[in-house]
Amino acid sequence: MAATQNVITDPKSVLNMAITVTVSAQKLPAPLGYISISRKKLLQNLEISAETRVNAWVDSMRASSPTHIKSTPSLADDQASWNLHHPSALEMFEQIIDASKGKQIVMFLDYDGTLSPIVEDPDRAFMSKKMRKTVRKLAKCFPTAIVSGRCRDKVYKFVKLAELYYAGSHGMDIKAPEIRSKSNRDNEPLLFQPASEFLPMIDEVYRQLVDTTKSTPGAKVENNKFCVSVHFRCVNEKRWSELAQQVRSVLKEYPKLRLTQGRKVLEIRPTIKWDKGKALEFLLESLGYANCSDVFPVYIGDDRTDEDAFKILRDRGQGFGILVSKFPKETSASYSLQEPGEVMDFLRRLVEWKQLALQAQSRM
Ligand SMILES: O=P(O)(O)OC[C@H]1O[C@H](O[C@H]2O[C@H](CO)[C@@H](O)[C@H](O)[C@H]2O)[C@H](O)[C@@H](O)[C@@H]1O
């Protein structure tokens, strides 16, 4: 399985590289003239590079779509060994609480596949009422942020909780809660959008992608404000290569955009060095925990893009990541939960533990 977040490099850079090599060869002195490549050959080479690139995308699309997994004894072994290295956060609850003693827990939650189950239609990925109630209680106990690939407004419409921090567009659109706590009531309202200069480009690419992919049945393009998603969950696997080719044909004109991959989705975003991990650090800083050793961030997510946040926590040696997955995956998360139902159970236990701790304190 692919390692951390699968960044697919800009196809244009591959083309540029091919051109650079050819031009340098043509400048060589006569004895080495045989290296010079004819225009026809150059075009052929460029076509091969482009085809290789599209094939790599399709391989990656297949690798990230565990629909063909058959249960075999070796798979069962892999699962057992993975569970050993990434035990269930529910089973390890007491140990997790022990590790957080004396520290401020801060919660970071991905949305799709973490708080809501994965469904075919991205516009119908609703969160259950029970989950919303749980997250509301959680936010009363700990500072809580939603960190999503989606457009911030859209994820807010699903979650509907004004007391949370929201980081939309993979962390490129961060906003503090509308309901301010007593301690931060006087602060300036926080809005951070490090990719705002890309807005017109993203709009343009969105429109082009809608147009270019409309001949592929099942393809769906979603405008996530600072990034765009091209969904292939409902596209017949035989047509994934065609879809990848269509996306490539649009992206090759935009070297300032890059492609990453999520669960049956190609995600197009600015090349700026900003991701969910950077958003996590930014939020910790905004909350006043930049250089604190007594903070305990917990990040729960299911996707490759969440790996950036898991990695930051691992590198900082603070708190931990929890990967939501039924299947073994290479991850920097420390623990696992199988699906959103288990996420809700884990969050409930955190709330219950905190409420009991507060009651015990008030009796002292
Ligand atoms: O960071 P996230 O909140 O996990 O957002 C990542 C993508 O989530 C959404 O797509 C995923 O969920 C859909 C609904 O369940 C599903 O149909 C799709 O196959 C998944 O990839 C969202 O629609 C995308 O825009 C986000 O990039």
- For residue 106, the cross-strand partners are 297
DSSP label at 88? Answer: B
Cα 112 to middle of ligand 1, angstroms? 5
Judge whether residue 209 has pLDDT over 90.
yes
How high is the pLDDT of residue 224? 98
Cα 170 to middle of ligand 1, angstroms? 11
Which residue's CA is the nearest one to ligand 1's atom 4? 112
Which residue's CA is the nearest one to ligand 1's atom 7? 149
Judge whether residue 270 has pLDDT over 80.
yes
> Does residue 269's CB lie within 6 angstroms of at least one atom of ligand 1?
no
Judge whether residue 24 has pLDDT over 70.
no
How high is the pLDDT of residue 18? 30
Residue ranges and CATH numbers for the domains of the chain are 75-193+274-363 (3.40.50.1000), 197-270 (3.30.70.1020)
Judge whether residue 17 has pLDDT over 60.
no
- For residue 104, the cross-strand partners are 295
How high is the pLDDT of residue 75? 78
How high is the pLDDT of residue 111? 98
- For residue 112, the cross-strand partners are 116
The reported pTM is: 0.85
> Does residue 149's CB lie within 6 angstroms of at least one atom of ligand 1?
yes
Give Cα separations from 182 to 161, 185, 186, 187, 294 (angstroms): 18, 5, 8, 10, 21
H helix count then E strand count, the chain: 11, 12
More confident call, 60 vs 348: 348
| Residue type at 137 in one-letter notation | K
Are residues 279 and 81 in contact, defined by beta-carbon separation less than 8 angstroms?
A: no
With pLDDT > 70 as the criterion, what percentage of the chain qualifies? 82
How high is the pLDDT of residue 345? 98
Cα 263 to middle of ligand 1, angstroms? 7
More confident call, 48 vs 319: 319
> Does residue 110's CB lie within 6 angstroms of at least one atom of ligand 1?
yes
How high is the pLDDT of residue 200? 98
Cα 48 to middle of ligand 1, angstroms? 32
> Does residue 169's CB lie within 6 angstroms of at least one atom of ligand 1?
no
- Residue 277 in 3-state DSSP? helix
How high is the pLDDT of residue 48? 63
More confident call, 127 vs 26: 127
Question: What confidence tier does 41 reach under pLDDT thresholds 50, 70, 90?
Answer: low
Which residue's CA is the nearest one to ligand 1's atom 23? 122
> Does residue 328's CB lie within 6 angstroms of at least one atom of ligand 1?
no
Question: What confidence tier does 169 reach under pLDDT thresholds 50, 70, 90?
Answer: very high
Over residues 301-314, the pLDDT tens digits come to: 999 999 999 999 99
Judge whether residue 327 has pLDDT over 60.
yes
Angle at 22 (CA atoms; ends 20, 23), nearest 5 degrees: 65
| Residue type at 281 in one-letter notation | E
Over residues 336-364, the pLDDT tens digits come to: 999 999 999 999 999 999 999 999 888 87
Which of 49-53, 176-180, 189-193 has the highest average model confidence (pLDDT)? 189-193
Judge whether residue 192 has pLDDT over 70.
yes
Cα 265 to middle of ligand 1, angstroms? 7
Are residues 88 and 278 in contact, defined by beta-carbon separation less than 8 angstroms?
A: no
Q: What is the ipTM of this complex?
A: 0.98
Question: What confidence tier does 79 reach under pLDDT thresholds 50, 70, 90?
Answer: confident
Q: What is the mean pLDDT of the chain?
A: 86
Cα 17 to middle of ligand 1, angstroms? 33
CA distance 182 to 297: 22
Whether 308 is a known active-site residue: answer no
Q: Which of 122, 108, 117, 119 is nearest to 229 (CA)?
A: 122
Report phi then psi at 348, rounded to 5: -60, -40
Residues sharing a CB contact under 8 Å with residue 86, sequence separation 6 or more, in sequence order: 323, 331, 333, 334, 335, 336
> Does residue 229's CB lie within 6 angstroms of at least one atom of ligand 1?
yes
Q: Point out the catalytic residue in the list 10, 110, 112, 308.
A: 110
Judge whether residue 8 has pLDDT over 50.
no
> Does residue 111's CB lie within 6 angstroms of at least one atom of ligand 1?
yes
More confident call, 174 vs 81: 174
> Does residue 168's CB lie within 6 angstroms of at least one atom of ligand 1?
no
Question: What confidence tier does 7 reach under pLDDT thresholds 50, 70, 90?
Answer: very low
Judge whether residue 30 has pLDDT over 60.
no
Which residue's CA is the nearest one to ligand 1's atom 14? 122
Strands 335-337 and 320-324: parallel
Are residues 293 and 287 in contact, defined by beta-carbon separation less than 8 angstroms?
A: no
Q: Where are any strands of DSSP class E within 61-138?
A: 104-109
Judge whether residue 182 has pLDDT over 80.
no
How high is the pLDDT of residue 70? 61
